[in-house]
Amino acid sequence: MTALTLPALVAAQAERTPHAIAVVSDQVTLDYAELWRRVRELAGMLRQDGIGPGSVVAVRLDRSPDLVVALLGVLTAGAAYLPLEKDTPAQRAALILEEAAPDRVLTALPAGTAPGVEVVCAHPDDPAYLIYTSGSTGRPKGVVVRQEAIARHLRWMRAAVPLTADDRVLVKTPVGFDVSTYEYFWPLICGAALVVAPPGLEREPHGLAALIAHRDVTTIQFVPSMLRLFLDADVAVHCRGLRRIICIGEALPVSLRDRCLALLGAELHNLYGPTEVTVAATAWPCRPGADPDSVPIGLPVADTGAHVLDERLDPVPVGVTGELYLSGAQLAEGYLARPGQTAERFVANPLGPPGSRLYRTGDLARRRADGALEFIGRTDGQVKFRGRRVELGEIEAVLCTHPAVTQAAVVLAGPQDGDRWLACFVVPAPGVPVPEPHALGTHLRDSLPDALVPTAWAVLERVPLTGNGKLDRAALPEPPRPGTAPATPAAATAEAADEVTAWLCGAADEVLRRPAGDATPGHSFVGLGGDSMAAMRLVNRARARGLALTVADVVGSATLAEVAASVGTPAPAGGTAAEPELLPDLDPGEYASLAAQLSRG
């Protein structure tokens, strides 16, 4: 019997359907036979270099067919892959590489040829991947997931949400998120094809819609906040070929669920799970008219248990809130080189056989009478923001390394079912000027992804503390709203040069929830508190007005006047979807450069 590993599942599918299309992109189309030939060849090269079971290979390629080959080649050689995105801040990448100590770093597929491996070299107990998540101490922590765990989960996914040879799954999630495994591997164990979106296109709803229509995409995955922006762009008319949507990474509001079902008419599946339990631990099929009060996170997936327990690890009654613990074959090995944190989160399972474990999620949940679970909230300072699991303490810890900051408190602000933002309170060091928001943002971007940089700032004399001396988040003042950066001198006197500039200033005020007339042509969208998500909303409004604009235009321009100057030929309203625009990667250095321009005025 073939060992249960991810590459073995892909190899079996390649043998069953060698001439079916496996990978589609702007550069190349690969059938299963050619994809598997390239994978075997890369695995052979890695084996010749001594890479095999127990090895770790860091993979830092742009999203492309080569990235698909790289991930599968590493797995087939028996090694674990460590995904690093191209825009990972240098300091964060250095911390990860220092701790993980990979045996090799792939930034491109190696040149040359080698005999392809004849058999998959991986074993079920070998690590498959090492993915780093937010850490409360300011250092990211690596989660080690076994081959059998991811293979079992994808095998469940194949049975629960079947794909066929005429399905095409869009690959758009950054590879550093564990949910990207759905896009890269799920289609390839079903005989379906994956469609590789160009880097950056995930930020452009109109470009995504055009690609969906052009490539006949049937299946797509969204974080709920991104699904909302996609629907806000009024592009659903171009996406009637979608058959199923996977939502994971955040709570799915009822209003968004109902709107998605009405506009797209596709299946909608709500999934929940931490990285430590291999992508998703529970799932729920959404249906029109069902569950009017909240969208459940659902029932446990195969080989997984879900337990709502009290502080003594005893089960609580149906309808009573408790902490959610997870068990089963999908549990990760633990955290790399963090035995203390591993012991804290992976605990002995008093409900299972000797030697079994529970993973303590830190999530509060309750079980309904029908067995479905409802997500209630968190027990600690961890939040889900735009699909990322964010330890607020990690942001605070990095902020406190700034010489002008003695204390910091970060909160997730905004309505549960609406647009949310990270807001920060800082306590300045004695005898130094209050730090400017753009300076603090630049400091954070040296260590953290841009999505973890707050867009709203306030200054406190001290942060409130609980009786045991810990930060009391509940006692913090009302969070500031995005856009507290001061205007540059040019912004204070500039006047709108034309109708487009005036409209952009007004739209920026609305998108960023600033007082009317606050934004002027000399302001930067970033300086006003905007980020890529807010830029998507501005682009959606511009498109509805018939203005051709991209997220790169909005975020990459030093002033709103420059944004107006970049507006091209009016986009056709309600016309046929065009070929997708290629959006260049926006790395943190570009944001830092823009912040420096703001400080100079």
What residues make up the domain containing 470? 390-475
Query: Residue 347's Cα: distance from chain center in Å?
Result: 27
Which pair of tokens denotes residue 241?
């070929």
Cβ–Cβ under 8 Å, residues 68 and 96: no
Q: Which of 236, 216, 213 is nearest to 169 (CA)?
A: 216
CATH number of the domain encompassing residue 496: 1.10.1200.10
- C-alpha–C-alpha distance, residues 597 and 592, integer Å: 9
Mean predicted confidence (pLDDT) in 193-208: 92
- Give pTM, 2 decimals: 0.77
Which pLDDT score, from 0 to 100, does residue 137 have?
A: 63
In a domain, 53, yes or no: yes
CATH number of the domain encompassing residue 2: 3.40.50.12780
Mean predicted confidence (pLDDT) in 77-83: 98
Mean predicted confidence (pLDDT) in 12-16: 97
CATH number of the domain encompassing residue 404: 3.30.300.30
User: Which of 26-30, 414-418, 515-519, 576-580 reaches the highest mean pLDDT?
Assistant: 26-30
Residues 6+ apart with CB under 8 A from 301: 153, 156, 160, 280, 281, 282, 283, 330
455 and 499 both lie in a single domain: no
pLDDT above 60 for 483: yes
571 and 435 both lie in a single domain: no
Per residue in 216-249, pLDDT (tens digit) is 999 999 988 889 889 988 888 889 999 999 999 8
Mean predicted confidence (pLDDT) in 569-574: 41
- C-alpha–C-alpha distance, residues 402 and 443, integer Å: 7
Which pLDDT score, from 0 to 100, does residue 491 have?
A: 36
Which pLDDT score, from 0 to 100, does residue 561 have?
A: 87
Which pLDDT score, from 0 to 100, does residue 526 have?
A: 78
Mean predicted confidence (pLDDT) in 159-188: 96
pLDDT above 60 for 202: yes
pLDDT above 90 for 394: no
In a domain, 329, yes or no: no
500 and 468 both lie in a single domain: no
Which pLDDT score, from 0 to 100, does residue 226 have?
A: 87
463 and 532 both lie in a single domain: no
Which pLDDT score, from 0 to 100, does residue 136 have?
A: 62
Share of the chain above pLDDT 70, in %: 89
Farthest CA pair distance, the chain: 75
Which pLDDT score, from 0 to 100, does residue 487 have?
A: 34
423 and 515 both lie in a single domain: no
- C-alpha–C-alpha distance, residues 581 and 561, integer Å: 22
In a domain, 444, yes or no: yes
Per the model's pLDDT, the better-predicted residue between 407 and 45 turns out to be 45
What is the residue-wise DSSP string for 226-242? HHHHHHHTT-GGG-TT-
Mean predicted confidence (pLDDT) in 303-327: 96
Which pLDDT score, from 0 to 100, does residue 258 have?
A: 92
Per residue in 356-366, pLDDT (tens digit) is 999 999 999 99
Per residue in 576-596, pLDDT (tens digit) is 333 333 223 333 344 344 334
Which pLDDT score, from 0 to 100, does residue 436 have?
A: 84
Burial state string for 429-453 with b = 16 or more CB within 10 A and e = fewer than 16: beeeeebbbbbbbbbbbebbbbebb
580 and 449 both lie in a single domain: no
578 and 452 both lie in a single domain: no
Q: Domain boundary at 126, 160, 194, which?
A: 160
**Confidence bin at 467 (pLDDT 50/70/90):** low
Which pLDDT score, from 0 to 100, does residue 550 have?
A: 86
Lowest mean pLDDT among 2-11, 98-107, 531-540: 531-540
In a domain, 436, yes or no: yes
**CA-based R_g, the chain, Å:** 24
Run of H or E including 509: helix 499-511
In a domain, 127, yes or no: yes
Q: What integer best gives the mean pLDDT of the chain?
A: 86
133 and 37 both lie in a single domain: yes
Q: Domain boundary at 160, 191, 221, which?
A: 160
Which pLDDT score, from 0 to 100, does residue 594 have?
A: 37
33 and 133 both lie in a single domain: yes
Q: Domain boundary at 440, 475, 510, which?
A: 475
**Confidence bin at 469 (pLDDT 50/70/90):** low
**Confidence bin at 265 (pLDDT 50/70/90):** very high
pLDDT above 80 for 111: yes
Lowest mean pLDDT among 167-171, 401-405, 415-419, 552-556: 415-419
5 and 119 both lie in a single domain: yes
pLDDT above 80 for 466: no
Which pLDDT score, from 0 to 100, does residue 511 have?
A: 87
- C-alpha–C-alpha distance, residues 424 and 65, integer Å: 40
Number of domains in the chain: 3
Query: Residue 403's Cα: distance from chain center in Å?
Result: 31
565 and 455 both lie in a single domain: no
**Confidence bin at 556 (pLDDT 50/70/90):** confident
- C-alpha–C-alpha distance, residues 312 and 83, integer Å: 38
In a domain, 579, yes or no: yes
Count CA atoms within 13 Å of residue 333 on its CB side.
21
pLDDT above 90 for 5: yes
Per the model's pLDDT, the better-predicted residue between 203 and 17 turns out to be 17
Which pLDDT score, from 0 to 100, does residue 251 have?
A: 86
- C-alpha–C-alpha distance, residues 563 and 521, integer Å: 9
Mean predicted confidence (pLDDT) in 327-343: 96
Which pLDDT score, from 0 to 100, does residue 268 have?
A: 98
Per residue in 32-70, pLDDT (tens digit) is 999 999 999 999 999 999 999 999 999 999 999 999 999
108 and 46 both lie in a single domain: yes
In a domain, 359, yes or no: no
Q: Which of 117, 134, 149 is nearest to 52 (CA)?
A: 117
In a domain, 404, yes or no: yes
